[in-house]
């Protein structure tokens, strides 16, 4: 599997689908993807680390006035996050759900002008499941349904290593599905 992160900035100057806006959207970010990692030991969740994405609006300007606020609509069902432009130009959001999301990045100036554009964010999930000294390991149900109202995953990769020191002198096997 080949994956790549996109780093850089996006702007709205080439967006011909909308009427011209006095706001010039320039947003910098490091990545538009990541993996949530959940660790389960002996049937108990030990940790879950979300994916934090940051968006820097510092170079977004308006020819009609001062910037009033910046916003991010994460696309995962949560409400938009708004930052007061007088306080900060960066908005960070931590994804705790996996899926392919359409994220809207926007800005409002003090004259009420609003401009935004969308990007696609891909959040994957990895579950690390471990048990020790178990003759009868617990079942691990795998639900392929995303945590959001978005498209289903294209594939699920399962890597499994089972070790039973009481049989076959430490025989182990790995199965890939």
Of the two residues 3 and 8, the one the predictor is more confident about is: 8
Domain count, the chain: 1
Distance CA(53)–CA(93), nearest Å, equals: 6
Is 46 in contact with 90 (CB distance < 8 Å)?
no
Q: Does 70 reside within a domain?
A: yes
Q: Does 18 reside within a domain?
A: yes
Q: Does 94 reside within a domain?
A: yes
14 pLDDT band, cuts 50/70/90, is very low
Pairing state of beta strands 23-24 and 61-62? Answer: antiparallel
Q: Does 95 reside within a domain?
A: yes
Q: Does 139 reside within a domain?
A: no
CATH number at residue 22: 2.60.40.10
Query: What share of the chain in percent tops pLDDT 90?
Result: 51
Q: Which domain holds residue 118?
A: 8-131
**What is the tens place of the pLDDT at every residue in 57-113?**
999 999 999 999 999 999 998 999 999 999 999 999 999 988 889 999 999 999 999
159 pLDDT band, cuts 50/70/90, is confident
């Amino acid at each position: 599997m080949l994956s790549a992160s996109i780093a850089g900035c996006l702007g709205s100057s080439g967006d011909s689908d909308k009427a011209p806006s006095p706001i010039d959207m320039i947003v910098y970010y490091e990545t538009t993807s990541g993996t949530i990692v959940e660790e389960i030991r002996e049937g108990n969740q030990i940790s879950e680390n979300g994916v934090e994405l940051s968006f820097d609006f510092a170079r977004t300007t308006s020819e009609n006035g001062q910037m009033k606020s910046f916003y991010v609509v994460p696309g995962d069902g949560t409400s938009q996050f708004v930052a007061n432009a007088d306080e900060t130009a960066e908005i960070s959001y931590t994804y705790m759900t996996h899926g392919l999301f359409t994220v809207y990045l926007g800005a409002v100036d003090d004259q009420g002008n609003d401009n935004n554009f969308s990007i696609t964010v891909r959040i994957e999930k990895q579950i690390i499941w471990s048990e020790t000294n178990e003759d009868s390991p617990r079942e691990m149900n795998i639900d392929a349904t995303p945590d959001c109202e978005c498209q289903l995953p294209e594939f699920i990769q399962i890597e499994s290593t089972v070790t039973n020191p009481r049989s076959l002198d430490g025989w182990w096997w790995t199965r890939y599905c």
